[in-house]
Structure 1
Amino acid sequence: MRAIEAGLRFLIKQGVKYIFGIPAGSINALYDCLYDLPELQAVVAKHETSSGYMAAAYTRITGIPSVCVGSSGPGATNLVTPAANAWKEKLPVIFISGSVPSSKLGKGGAQELRADPIFAPVTKLSRMVMNAEELPAAIAEAYWTAISGVPGPVHLSIPIDLQMTDIGEMELPELPLIQEQMALVDKTLMEATLGAVLQAGERGAILLGHGAKSAQADVLAFAERTGWMVATTPRGKGAFPEDHPQSLGVYGLSGNDKAIEFLNSDGHKLIMVLGSSLGELATCNWEARLTAGKQFVHIDYDERELGRCYEADFALHGEIAPVLRQLSAGLAQAGSGLTAERKMLLEQLHLARLEAAADASAMETWNTRTAIRLLGANAPDQTRFYIDIGEFMTYSIQNLLIREQQQFDININFGGMGSGIAGSLGAKLAEPERPVMCITGDGCFFMHGLEVMTAKEYGLPIVFVVINNARLGMVYHGHMLQYERCLSDFSQQRVSIAAVAQSLGIRHVQVESAEQLQAKHVQQWFAEGQSGPIVVEVVVDGNEIPPMGERVKFLQGATY
């Protein structure tokens, strides 16, 4: 048995199902093994960076580690960006890069590069394997490192000759029998936190980060028991249904005015943050008013996040779901709960907000904001929205109303332009039955848009909505807001994205008005029985200023 096959068989034993990447000389032995390993499916992308975003999305949604591979040299360096993304998102993705033969290292082989030190700053483990017999154990070590403790990516560089070496029949490595357990939150600290929650009464607020998505049912139950208003960070969007009477929408970059005004006010005595690192984009540039004059409860499974940006009065290191269950049980035992009067008031305020939003929508002209609102209103109830990086992102954060059964994904911390296009493929592989809509832009499409071909080749029925404003919109408006001028190069002659899709043999639609973006049209895009993607080009002028003011202030240095 070849050494690399033994390593792959170990991964199969752990439940790994997909290998994302692009085959090339120094990694071809791995791909050759896949002929004999039908349990592992190769997903061959159009670019290594895209393959890394696919792997990350699949792992984020399923919790199952995935493998992403690239050749030596440029193939490996193309994986550094998605490895950094997986590092920021704490995802157990296993990156494998090929290398020139071990006997030729340092002799100037084609595309030779020591990749392990390059990956080291953005992985939990990065090493070059130099012994064929040790390769299966090295893969086992990498897998265990990726999933243990706070998860994260790992990287192995494997010379091609070691991959091909016959190591005979051998027993596959075993993982430790005892899995790591999250320590229980200190009982005294839990009691003190419960006391603070009881003392706050109805004057509390909740801010949900991405980590809260792992405990959505418990978050909803706790919020409804306390009656507290709930906001989310941009990455936490979707952790709480935005059509709920207690929803404030998004706080942070492109946040909703009602969320920013409420959380920055002194109308509540306690703020509880769940599963957020509280970085720039989650906090309106680390706004001091978020916690000033209030008791601050911070709950996160990664102890390193506690106290990093804001000092908490109650810093609870633990899984969010069991902590909330303990707090809810304590509230029930104390007889604390949402009063009928408070519930009625919340519903009245909610109805008033819905009526105001409906009136505002009815008066809107055709633009990016209108298109985003219509996409959200007319998408199926189970839709997963996968948002790319650009001007349209700010509108999506602010104007997509995420309902209870829907999901919202965005790589806002380290996702590059085009990451949403690639990530939506991983999302569809993770949940084949869930409708997936990727909202992206023309600039993103020109970077990684050919991954729609990958979706076609693997029969993935994804709706790719491309907002085409014929410019790098976020860059253009950012420069105009910050410098009041910009290079003409930020704009371009409009290219028909629908025509590009047609040339690729992919279903396509061009939308130029609100009348072409109604429920019946969206239903057709998601029609059952479709075996491949559709590209929906939304043509807009893009002259309106997007809701990105806080980001511009940060770039101007106004927060220092």
Structure 2
Amino acid sequence: MRAIEVGLRFLLQQGVKYVFGIPAGSINAIYDALMDIPELKPIVAKHENSSGYMAGSYTRITGIPSLCVASSGPGATNLVTPAANAWKQKLPVIFITGSVPSTKLGKGGAQELYAEPIFASITKMSRTVLDPHKLPEILAEAYHTAISGVPGPVHLAIPIDIQMTDIGDRELPVLPAVQQPVMDLAAVEAAAQRIKDAGSRGAILLGNGAKAASDSIVQFAETLGWGVATTPRGKGAFPENHPLSLGGYGLSANPKASDYLNGGNHEVLLIIGSSLGELATSNWEPRLVAGRELIHIDYDHSELGKCYETHYPVHGEIKLVIAELLDQLSEDGQEDESAVSDILTGLAEAAAGSEQGEEKWNTRSAIRSLSAAAPKDTRFFLDIGEFMTYSIQNLLIESGQAFDIDINFGGMGSGLGGVIGAQLAEPSRPTICITGDGCFFMHGLEVLTAKEYQLPILFVVINNARLGMVYHGHMLQYKRCLDDFSQERVSIAGIARSLGLRHAEITSLDQLQSEQVKEWLSSGGPVVVEVIVDGNEIPPMGERVKFLQGATY
């Protein structure tokens, strides 16, 4: 049996289901081996960059490590961006790149590249495999490295002759046990006592890591009566129609969340599953932490105390930590039901008072209309651009819905690839990708990938005929910008038509109602909806501009 086939059968044994990538000469042995392993399904993308985002989102949603492959040379360098994104998001994606034959290394073979050091800084392990008999064990080591401790991506460069070498009948490698983070019970007890002492004078900020424990966090917040805000990536960890919801904090913050968290009405801030970076904290806003004590819960010990002094750092699996905190709070039984009721009522009244009246047609009103029209179990997958600022602020993510955005690394077009992985992860869930014309021009042909695999994704493309976030950022920061940031409007619906895709062109709110959205999602394949707007309104991105201005003086 060829070495690469043994390795692929090992990955299949671990639960890997898909091979994301694009076939090419130096990895042809992988795709040939898939002919004999029908349980491993190839997903052939239109660009290696997109295939990496597909793998990452599939892994994030299912918890199952993904395999993403690319050729040597340009294929490998095209995977650097999604590998960095997986590194940023702590996703156990296995990246395999091909290489020229091991006997020809350094002799100028076509597409030759020494990829190992290129991936070294953005993976937990990057290695070149030069012994075919060791390939299965090295792949098992890479897999174990990816899922152990704090998860993260790994990379192997495998020359084509190493892949193809017959190594005979081999037993598949056996993985050692994976050690899970050990909960610091003393730290949990100290945090629980501080929470009890704070009474009603506390607030909660949720990051993406909190999503794994969202149900218990709702119970936890209701027990305390504390207001709950979410970071941009944490959006969806707490239902935004809940009376305790403050909405989003950080980039494109809900004013209610900013006023509450930056105000002086609480003495304890409980942070769950956030790295507290620029976009999560409104450019590290000092008022967020001024005059209060921080309790920070995270499964990655390195995040605790990294950005702010943390008085009560708690390391452990977030779901288990929240369960332990709930046990300790219920044992105490000191909940002040009248205080909790007052807070719930006050926040509900504030939410009701913030409702907007009828709006004119623009990006914000289009996002709000889409939010209201979407099914109650929709997964929204956001791309990167001006439209995301409106989406973070105006998509109302309710219980049962989900929200994804690869915002920390922030690659344009990441949503167009990522949403395909998301739909494969949850095939029965309504899935809507919100993207922009700039992202579409980068990776829009992935809608054809969705067509080829019959994925019923609704692609909503906000077309303002410009790089909107760049345009408005320059106008806010420099009061001028190059004409090159805008272009003559191109019909994206027309592009979809030429690809044989269902499509629609939207220019008013009455075209973006629940009956249309339901019909698009039930079509059995992808639908491209072009939303045509002027895009002249200033998006809610002021904190991002402040950060960039800091680099000018």
**What is the rounded CA distance, in whole Å, between the counterparts of 1:224 and 1:155 in structure 2?**
43
User: How far 1:372 moved relative to its partner?
Assistant: 0.3
Q: Out of 437, 447, 454, which is 1:459 matched to?
A: 454
1:88 corresponds to: 88
For residues 208-262 of structure 1, give each alpha carbon's deviation from its aligned partner in whole angstroms, at most 9, with x where no partner exists: 0000001011100100000000000000000000000000000000010110111
Deviation at 1:193, TM superposition (A): 1.4
In structure 2, what is the Cα distance between the partners aligned to 1:190 and 1:12?
38
Are the equivalent residues in 1 in contact too, given 2:224–2:340 (CA < 8 A)? no
User: In structure 2, how many angstroms separate the alpha carbons of the residues matched to 1:473 and 1:559?
Assistant: 21
Contact 1:553 1:559 in 2 (8 A): no
Q: Distance in 2 between matches of 1:544 and 1:510?
A: 21
Distance between the aligned counterparts of 2:343 and 2:146, measured in 1? 47
Q: Could you tell me which residue of structure 2 aligns to residue 439 of structure 1?
A: 434
Q: Judge which range, 549-558 or 73-82, deviates more.
A: 549-558
Deviations 1:289-338 (A, max 9, x none): 11111111000000000010001110000111221122222221111225
Asked if residue 534 in structure 1 is aligned to residue 534 in structure 2, the reply is: no
The separation in 2 between residues aligned to 1:482 and 1:501, in whole angstroms, is 36
| AA partner of residue 546 (structure 1) | P
Q: CA deviation at 1:355?
A: 4.5
Give the aligned partner of residue 549 of structure 1.
542
Aligned to 1:410: 405
From 326, 329, 332, give the equivalent of 2:327: 329
Does the CA-based 8 Å contact 1:224-1:338 persist in structure 2?
Answer: no
Q: Does the 8 Å CA contact 2:243/2:351 hold for their aligned counterparts?
A: no
- SS for the counterpart of 1:535 is strand
Q: Match of 1:195, as an amino acid?
A: Q
Partner residue, 1:424? 419
1:374 alignment partner, SS class: helix
Report deviation, 1:181.
2.7
Amino acid at match of 1:533: P
What is the Cα deviation at residue 18 of structure 1? 0.4
In structure 1, distance between residues paired with 2:347 and 2:89: 36
Q: 1:62 matched to which residue of 2?
A: 62
Establish whether residue 385 from structure 1 lines up as the match of residue 384 from structure 2: no
- 1:241-390 matches, within 5 Å, as 241-340=239-338, 342-357=340-355, 360-362=356-358, 364-390=359-385
Does residue 205 of structure 2 align to residue 237 of structure 1? no
> CA shift at 1:356, angstroms?
3.3
Question: In 2, distance between residues paired with 1:181 and 1:558?
Answer: 40
- Aligned counterpart, 1:396: 391
Pairwise CA distance, 1:519:
1.4
Q: Contact 2:504–2:528 (CA<8 Å) still a contact in 1? A: yes
Asked if 1:182 corresponds to 2:181, the answer is yes
Following superposition, the deviation at residue 443 of structure 1 comes to 0.3
Separation (CA, whole Å) in 2 of partners of 1:194 and 1:113: 53
Structure 1 consecutive aligned stretches of length 4 or more whose deviation exceeds 3 Å: none
Kept after mapping to 2: 8 A contact 1:20/1:42: yes
Unmatched 5+ stretches in structure 1:
none
AA partner of residue 164 (structure 1)? M
Distance in 2 separating the partners of 1:345 and 1:141: 51
**Following superposition of structure 1 onto structure 2, how do residues 108-119 of structure 1 map, counting pairs within 5 Å?**
108-119=108-119
Q: What is aligned with 2:198? A: 200
- Following the alignment from structure 2 to structure 1, what is the Cα–Cα distance between the partners of residues 37 and 291? 60
Answer yes or no: is the 8 Å Cα contact 1:285–1:559 preserved in 2: no
SS of the counterpart of 2:384?
coil
Contact 2:366 2:512 in 1 (8 A): yes
Pairwise CA distance, 1:352:
4.5
Q: For residue 136 of structure 1, what is the aligned residue in structure 2?
A: 136
Structure 2 Cα separation of the partners of residues 67 and 341 of structure 1:
51
Is 1:511 matched with 2:506? yes
How many Å separate the matches in 1 of 2:536 and 2:336? Answer: 45
In structure 2, what residue type is equivalent to 1:64? I
| Offset at residue 349 of structure 1 (A) | 3.8
The whole-number CA distance in structure 1 between the counterparts of 2:180 and 2:343 is 42
SS at match of 1:299: strand
1:80 and 1:120 map into 2 onto residues whose CA distance is 10
Native 8 Å contact 1:525 1:534 kept in 2: yes
* C-alpha distance in structure 1 between counterparts of 2:410 and 2:42, whole Å: 23
* 1-structure distance, mates of 2:249, 2:119: 33
C-alpha distance in 1 between matches for 2:551 and 2:499: 46
Tell me, what secondary structure is at the counterpart of 1:122?
coil
1:4 paired residue number: 4
Q: Over residues 170-192 of structure 1, what are the superposed CA-to-partner deviations in whole Å (9 max), with x where a residue is unaligned?
A: 1111101x3313212132x2222
TM-score, L = length of structure 1:
0.97
Query: CA shift at 1:341, angstroms?
Result: 5.4
Amino acid at match of 1:542: G
Amino acid at match of 1:304: S
Q: Within 1, Cα distance between the matches of 2:357 and 2:552?
A: 33
Secondary structure of 1:485's match? coil
Q: Which moved more, 1:404-413 or 1:347-356?
A: 347-356
- Give the whole-Å Cα distance in 1 for the aligned partners of 2:56 and 2:357: 36
Matches of 2:99 and 2:324, distance apart in 1? 51
Please name the residue that 2:20 is paired with: 20
CA–CA separation in structure 2 for the residues paired with 1:423 and 1:45? 11
Report the counterpart of residue 478 of structure 2 in structure 1.
Answer: 483
Per the alignment, residue 524 of structure 1 pairs with 519
1:253 is matched by which residue type in structure 2?
L
Kindly state the Cα deviation for residue 415 of structure 1 after the two structures are TM-superposed: 3.1
Query: Aligned partners of 2:268 and 2:343: how far apart in 1?
Result: 20
After superposition, the C-alpha distances for 1:27-82 in whole angstroms (9 at most, x for unaligned) are: 00100000000110000000000000000000000000010000010000000000
Bigger mean CA deviation after superposition, 67-76 or 327-336: 327-336
Q: Kindly report the root-mean-square deviation, in angstroms, between the aligned alpha carbons of the 2 structures.
A: 1.2
Deviation, structure 1 residue 436: 0.4
Separation of aligned partners in 2, 1:19 and 1:289 = 46
Contact 2:204-2:229 at 8 Å conserved across structures: yes
Structure 2 CA distance for aligned equivalents of residues 356 and 98 of structure 1: 55
Residue 52 of structure 1 aligns with which residue?
A: 52
User: Identity percentage over the alignment?
Assistant: 67
